[in-house]
Structure 1
């Protein structure tokens, strides 16, 4: 079995790392290059950089921050936010990114997934899916039974600002078909709440596709990470606030999971 991965996420706005709740109320959490170097030394398996306002502000991603970070860290770096074209992929990979994450552009132009995977290899193409629960009053075979009823999961774009009407499970299957190598799956409902990942969402998508799923949104303690791996069937767990503000160290989370039998790199 492949080792499970612990991945710090650096949401970047105006060149600084920020953290919010449900994609809102952002607070400063530090310098991206310094934090990246710290997490590399702490034993992170990978890093994710998301320029969270690039798509909404219709501007290019911060290449200089990527270049400065890539010089300092020696673990795989995924970068996303504002990526719209093959040229953007090429610029980020040339700046030192190992993988490129797309969300809004993937929804608006699905052929970009296919084209990028054919040019750079599917291992470079991460499709980010930001999903939110939509509750329905009655049971239906297309709905997921959750703790408080039945729902489907709607895909959101522009940094969680705009719903698309697209079902996240069906979209996950489509992006796999188009050549995505990995899915970064964020629950908007759980983001920043520290109440645990949305295990229903994570499990549903993990079971629907054969590519790795990175669970994101809601990590508050090591038990939540363990649950994402075991109950949510995720391949990796993304987290931000609990690391940025020093509540837990990466080694604490890894040791907790390792002691419970999760294959993980210590």
Structure 2
């Protein structure tokens, strides 16, 4: 087992797989079930699936599509998007989801995190923090697809979510999303060093060297890749792919 986890992060919009750039400019990638089948063949250890329109468009959780995906998936899935209640979490876990990511609902109501952690265990509760620099260069946590600024810095928010019972943080850089320009190592290191729970780096991966830097320099416990998992390369066509076990071993030294 590799000491550091590498995870495909798939974005879903109205049942279709898409990829964004800085949370905008959506590109259609394909059917999520077909993508999952390919990741099965590549023996991926886990998967992150985020419905990016469930909250922003008030659509709620697309349970039928999730059921179809889980039915084809051989690996644990962390699902996020539109989750607002413990009852919804129960239904997702009943479908076979392994972990649930909460974002805006957790930020608006930290008590939801406490209730979820108490019922399902800390390890099952992941908090997604979408972070963007403002005009003055200050990092703040955003919700609703980046359109709402909480005015709260990510370290403060991460610590609050850890105290509420979150078992993991998915730290997503809006500025780096889909840019292939590498992770925001300053943001990563600052948040990772401020909490004791694992932090997953997300947003900006363009190469295996970027992935290594997120772990070694940014101190991320795990690394999520989006564009690298669904495109041949920057400005190239769709290709569902994932680094081989040997490639992962070459960038992550085992402890």
Q: What TM-score bracket applies, with the shorter chain setting the length? A: over 0.9
Structure 1 residues 119-130: aligned runs within 5 Å: 119-130=119-130
Cα 1:210–1:59 shift into 2, 3 Å: same
**Does the CA contact (< 8 Å) of 2:183 and 2:205 recur in 1?**
yes
The answer to whether the aligner puts 1:251 opposite 2:243 as a matched pair is yes
d(CA) in 2 for partners of 1:206 and 1:108?
A: 22
d(CA) in 2 for partners of 1:209 and 1:55?
A: 27
d(CA) in 1 for partners of 2:25 and 2:212?
A: 28
The alpha carbon displacement at 1:257 in A equals 4.4
Q: Give the corresponding residue for 1:168.
A: 154
The alpha carbon displacement at 1:61 in A equals 1.1
Q: Give the corresponding residue for 1:132.
A: 132
The alpha carbon displacement at 1:262 in A equals 2.1
User: Which deviates further from its counterpart, 254-263 or 234-243?
Assistant: 254-263
d(CA) in 1 for partners of 2:252 and 2:224?
A: 19
**Does the CA contact (< 8 Å) of 1:66 and 1:96 recur in 2?**
no
Q: Give the corresponding residue for 1:210.
A: 196
Structure 1 residues 1-266: aligned runs within 5 Å: 3-134=3-134, 136=136, 151-247=137-233, 249-252=241-244, 254-263=245-254
Structure 1 unaligned blocks of 5 or more = 137-150
The alpha carbon displacement at 1:135 in A equals 5.7
The alpha carbon displacement at 1:260 in A equals 4.3
The alpha carbon displacement at 1:76 in A equals 1.2
Structure 2 unaligned blocks of 5 or more = 234-238
Q: Give me the TM-score of the superposition, normalised by structure 1.
A: 0.89
CA deviations on 1:60-80 (whole Å, 9 max, x unpaired) are 111112211212222110001
Cα 1:261–1:99 shift into 2, 3 Å: closer
d(CA) in 1 for partners of 2:2 and 2:226?
A: 23
Q: Give the corresponding residue for 1:139.
A: none
Q: Give me the TM-score of the superposition, normalised by structure 2.
A: 0.92
Q: Would you say how many aligned residue pairs link Structure 1 and Structure 2?
A: 249
Structure 1 residue matching 2:74: 3-state secondary structure: coil
CA deviations on 1:14-45 (whole Å, 9 max, x unpaired) are 11000110000101001111101211221322
User: Which structure is higher in strand share?
Assistant: 1
**Does the CA contact (< 8 Å) of 2:176 and 2:183 recur in 1?**
yes
User: Which deviates further from its counterpart, 87-96 or 209-218?
Assistant: 87-96
Cα 1:258–1:2 shift into 2, 3 Å: closer
Q: Give the corresponding residue for 1:141.
A: none
